[in-house]
Structure 1
Amino acid sequence: MGRPLAAASPLPGLAARRPDLVGLALLLCTVLGWGLSWPVNKLLLGLWPPLSLRGMNGTLGGMALMLLALARGEALGVPLGQWGRLLLIAVLNVTCWIGFTTYSMLWLTAGEAAIAAYTMPLWTVLLAWPLLGERPTVRRVAGLATGLAGVAVLVGGGPSLDLSRLPGVVMSMLAAVTFALGTVVTKRAPLTLPPVAGAAWQVLLGALPLALAGLLLERADPAAMPAHGWALVAVVAAYPLGVCYLSWFAALRRLPAGLAATGTLLTPVIGVLGGTLLLGEPLGLRQGLALLLTVAGVLLALRG
């Protein structure tokens, strides 16, 4: 369940109008990994306690990113005055995001959780008004209403209201709101760390509270994890939390930021389809309508 930790400015000139195929391939690599991480983590939740699982994944992914940053020649040192900001952004963008989305899947399917969580651009629009002075346009307000309608469809189970999914929807929405707040904080006071090193610190610092909470609150028995479970843990740590961040930053260097942001909307689509194909999750009118409304709402917000 990955998500970009930083953004870049659109490329100027012809590069912005004619995105190259390598950039598109890198973007596809990113959204495939982030999208498939939803059903894989849903599967792992049946094998391992949630805090221990995600804390372990994040810690391994952060350490892998640290090694990659060193291999790229990036400095890992953090200026003294940025530690407080780095910790805040790590908590909002990683601890809250991973924690809330993981718990949301205790009530929701992987696809439903992905749909609700990917409303974060809508909340970014709302939070940017009081915190950055960016007044929302009519199109962005319409996008917010459309996206929230998609979330309402998730809670509605047909002719009657199905409150059994409500805790999961609330968890996913909290993940979206806290991530949006982290995005606005980053925009208002950006970190000056190199891209991969910055992502590594955020993932590692954000995952450590989850890992510590897992040690204190859960009883995770390594012997109880089957071999295929450990293989999936390694895949999640290496691909969505490692390779995908590298491919994301590389895609941002080649593509306009708006196109890259729009491309990430494939993530919940892949999450829904992956949940159906890998876990046999239902894909009916309700899920399809919720996905359509949410993606349409985010598109309106991004183009507003």
Structure 2
Amino acid sequence: MTAPNVPAAPRLAPAGLVYLLITSIGWGLTWPVMKHLLGEWPPLSARGWTGMAGAALLALLALASRQSLIVPRVQWGRLVLSALLNVTSWLTLIGLALLWLPASEAAVIAATMPVWAALLAWPILGERPTLKRTLALLLAFGGIAALMGGNGLAASLSKLPGIVLALAGSFGFALGTVTAKRFPVKLPPLTSASWQILVGCVPVVIGGVVFEHPDPQVLSAVGWSSMAYMTVVQFCISYACWFAALARLPASVAAIGTLLVPVIGVVASAIVLHEPLGPGQIAALVMTLAGVLLATRS
């Protein structure tokens, strides 16, 4: 008896995997870079101005790729909503969270975004939560509980504002992701990214000017290098590679591939910033990544 013909699984495009790896490395290294920059510049100004510059570079890249920058009038409402959720809230809340948390721990909490997205898909998209998604949420909260352990009650309470802010930022990004599926912004990828980052960074920059009064003269050479890294790598190269990866890989593969981001963030923060990498941090990373894997595979 001959075996039935079973279609082979489609091969993953090597170029897509390379783009995904570049994206994960770029975003992962942003965590220690941003944490260092906060020692020289306040969070809203650091995030807002680098985002504005990154949006300009993405716009130039879009033009070079022959993508129109014109936004139809009917798309502006969706674009602004997506920008406020995916950019404004993320940059603001995560930037402030780093004032209370090490970069490695903020990266772990931020990795819970796919879990929130899986839960929000029920009321917004009608996708009922499964048992796996419920377990994913429990694992993610278990990871956060491991981070709350600290070195005692005082250490835990001192982390609480940062944990709340990081969770709020992750939740807002997840809400923006699910809302974008319900009300998609119909623009070319680079055009959409450049406009969303630009629009989303405007409130962040205004907040920095009003409340922080940043002084460029206080930035050291390392500080300027950090600003350049966030502008070119975080907002331009990584986003461009992300869209290139999405064009060549299944969405599920791309989503799981981004799990490298918190891993790289944790390891890089331990090496560059000498942040602790003990049993608590490792347990939190493992539990959070396990929860995210369950959420993305269910």
Q: TM-score range by the shorter chain?
A: over 0.9
How many angstroms does 1:75 deviate by? 0.7
Q: C-alpha offsets along residues 274-297 of structure 1, whole Å, 9 cap, x if unaligned?
A: 100110000000000000000000
How many residue pairs get aligned? The number is: 291
> Which amino acid is the alignment partner of residue 259 of structure 1?
V
Map 1:41-120 → 2, pairs under 5 A: 41-120=34-113
Point out the structure with max Rg over C-alpha. Answer: 2
Q: 1:214 is matched with which residue?
A: 208
Q: Residue 229 of structure 1: which of 217, 223, 226 is its match?
A: 223
Q: Is 2:119 aligned against 1:126?
A: yes
Q: Aligned letter for 1:69?
A: A
Partner of 1:196: 190
Query: 1:17 offset after TM fit, Å?
Result: 2.8
TM-score, normalising length from structure 1? 0.93
Residue number in structure 1 paired with 2:290: 296
1:194-250 residue CA offsets vs partner (Å, 9 max, x unmatched) = 001000011111111111111111121111111221122112100111011111111
Equivalent residue for 1:172, pick from 142, 163, 166: 166
Q: 1:260 aligns with which of 254, 261, 269?
A: 254
The CA deviation string for residues 102-146 of structure 1, in whole angstroms up to 9 with x for no partner, is: 111111100100100110111111111111110011111111111
Identity among equivalent positions (%) equals: 51
Q: What is the SS of the residue equivalent to 1:17?
A: coil
Report the Cα distance in structure 1 between the residues aligned to 2:69 and 2:141, rounded to whole angstroms. Answer: 40
Q: Find the partner of 2:243 among 237, 244, 249.
A: 249
Helix, strand or coil at the partner of 1:193: coil
Superposed CA offset, 1:145-169 (max 9, x none): 1111111111122564721101101
Q: Tell me the alpha carbon deviations over residues 67-100 of structure 1, each in whole angstroms, 9 at most, x when there is no partner.
A: 1111110011111111111111101000100111
* CA–CA separation in structure 2 for the residues paired with 1:284 and 1:249: 35
Say whether residues 1:277 and 2:271 are aligned partners.
yes
Distance 1:283 1:164 in 2: 18
TM-score by length of 2: 0.95
Which whole-Å CA distance do the structure 2 matches of 1:40 and 1:160 have between them?
29
**Match of 1:137, as an amino acid?**
T
Q: Distance in 1 between matches of 2:41 and 2:114?
A: 31
The answer for the alignment partner of 1:7 in structure 2 is none
Which deviates more, 248-257 or 86-95?
248-257
Q: Which runs of 5+ in 1 are unaligned?
A: 1-12
Q: CA RMSD in A?
A: 1.3
Gaps in structure 2 of 5+ consecutive residues? 1-6
